[in-house]
Structure 1
Amino acid sequence: MSTDDMSIGAAPHTPSPPIRVLLAEDQVLVRDSFKVLIDATPGMTVVGEAGTGAEAVFLAQRHRPDIVLMDVRMPDMDGIEATRRICADPVGAGTRVLILTTFDQDDYVYASLQAGASGFLIKSATASELLTAIRIVSSGEALLAPTVTRRLIAEFRHGPRPAPVVRDLNDITQREREVLTLIGRGMSNSEIAEHLHLTVGTVKTHIGRLLAKLHARDRAQLVIAAYEGGLVTNSDGHR
């Protein structure tokens, strides 16, 4: 085959860079199991391991991972404060935090979201669920199921909670307000589309505009905006 023949046709496929994960978990055995699983998965790699919240902040600044898999309960600095510091760092704006939690014990849903977390993963999750969660959050989506939003509403009901981050809802349209309300109720894009008789593409467009107008990092922060703006009430927790 001539050189000219070789140059004809589609360009060779360039593989996407791997998802870079920082593990923040104080239990060594759990952390090691996560590392083995993630490093063995094509398209993912562990770039650092932290046993305390302070180490997680330091390593996030050092390695700039795509995802921090963050345990809530850690020595030295808890996962919420570590999340807040990581997400507040403008240099690390591309880093997203996936919180490891046990919903039956941890009352940290609201605080974690307000700190900037992009989702939650229950510690009893399967290996497949863990990998799927990493991919979802890495893609820019929030991992926030209706069960999580119901828990969040319960925390609003019983308080106390941190001071709200005020977001002005006056500049959003009526349709955007409807979409934001349904996001706050934990609906997926397809559920919102069905409820409002829209296409999924149109829903995504509205969400993109809401993110820009409300200066929200991701869907999780839109949930916070819906609650703090009074668009979701306590009764919405019983869908």
Structure 2
Amino acid sequence: MRKKNSCKLIIPPWSDFDPFLLSHILSFLPLHDQLFVTPYVSRAWLTATLDTLFHNSILDLVFIDELDDEIQRLRFTHLLRLAINRYHGWVSIHLPRKYMLSYFAMVYIAERTPMISSVIMPCDVALHACLVHTSLLYWENLKVFKARLNSHEGLLLQQLADSCKNIVELGVHGEITEKEVSSIIEGFPRLKILDISESTLCHKALSLLLDGKLRSLRELDILHCSIVVHTLLGNLLNLL
């Protein structure tokens, strides 16, 4: 009799699964599973999870605002720490709107992302200068910076000018005084785009911006700005 050949189905291990395809599959899972289940299956699944959450050119930390409780946020920051120690290809950081990172977390991120060229802070959130002062020392290649400033933290622009010489796009919102404008003019000679929309600035600060000293400037956005005009008549009317 002729012996029949037995066919065995050979299933390759998960470690041999295509990493890109695995990461794509994991992206369809609920967030809870990506945080608490898939990283524990194997090292390959941990890497795929990190790829799903973090592996692109933008380190999007706004994602942490979507987490429901502190346990999820702690798990996210743990995976973030692993990702930061593995990857070095980020060119932009988007900071969260609701969740405020600690000073030490900001320094930890900055130390390991020296090639960052863009930092974006949601424009409806006032940035605490102490959180980024030290970080700027590591981001010497920064070209784009956007944030809302607190009125008592005017030194941030000076710190930015001292540490980051290559800024070409700047977006600052809040109370813009002559001091801030002087810091912009003196500190960012290569500036091409300046966005101070929805800010409050005095007429002298505006005049200083428009006097042509920013020779490389190609775009100035002052949309919805409030211009404060200080005149003797205005002061007298305020006293009545």
TM-score by length of 2: 0.32
Q: Which has the larger radius of gyration?
A: 2
**Structure having the larger proportion of residues in helix:** 1
By relative contact order (CA 8 Å, sep 6+), the higher-ranking structure is: 1
TM-score by length of 1: 0.32
